[in-house]
Chains A and B, each alone.
Chain A
Amino acid sequence: DAGVTQSPTHLIKTRGQQVTLRCSPKSGHDTVSWYQQALGQGPQFIFQYYEEEERQRGNFPDRFSGHQFPNYSSELNVNALLLGDSALYLCASSTLGDSNQPQHFGDGTRLSIL
């Protein structure tokens, strides 16, 4: 049973570019959440998708956007990249409303902005 998979594992971009990160949830999960983890910090919630719609959003600018597909996979898009966007981006999947199933995390995409 595959867990949460993220691609790519590493990415290098320059300021001003845009980037798309991808996530496939654990089998049976219908909800995908994205987190940003800066170096030496705890993960910060970006947003959550359920039924192809953004359900919750953290304190991130509109440059951060996402999408969820009918197969529950998800993308995170970041436009106009800034140096401060350098971080590990984590995807987590869960089943909405099932408190006994905590969020499962992928290994993340490490994004470096030059």
Chain B
Amino acid sequence: AQSVTQLDSQVPVFEEAPVELRCNYSSSVSVYLFWYVQYPNQGLQLLLKYLSGSTLVKGINGFEAEFNKSQTSFHLRKPSVHISDTAEYFCAVERGGGNKLTFGTGTQLKVEL
């Protein structure tokens, strides 16, 4: 079975500052890793994914994440946040091939002026 831990339930940050949202996972098999964003009253939108290859993955809206196999982490980063980045962010793992996604509990990113 897989599990995902997002240690930070809330992350406040000022506009134009950098941010890192942490994600750790556990799995006995190789997994695919994802970050999704959820704006209020909406579904989930894919930010980026790691399937294999380069451990640094670039996604939409200037976000990137780095896969670290030894630390079983997949932290999300953005060098300069905008007010519009305020949302809930979910890290998820999948065993691959269209299997179920296992999500973390989410991190609320609040960008302040």
Contact = CB atoms under 8 A, between A and B. Distances in A.
Contacts of B106: 40-42
Interface stretch (A64-72, A76-84, A90-98): A90-98
A103 B99 CA distance: 10
B45 A42 contact: no
A33 B44 contact: no
Given A43-B90, A107-B42, A33 B100 contact: yes
B24 interface: no
B98 A98 contact: yes
Contacts, number: 64
A43 B98 CA distance: 16
Contacts of B36: 105
A33 B103 CA distance: 14
A106 interface: yes
Contacts of B96: 99
A50 B44 CA distance: 21
A103 B101 contact: yes
B49 A42 contact: no
Given A99-B51, A99-B96, A100-B51, A45 B46 contact: no
Interface of B: 4, 32, 34, 36, 41-46, 49, 51, 90, 92, 96-106
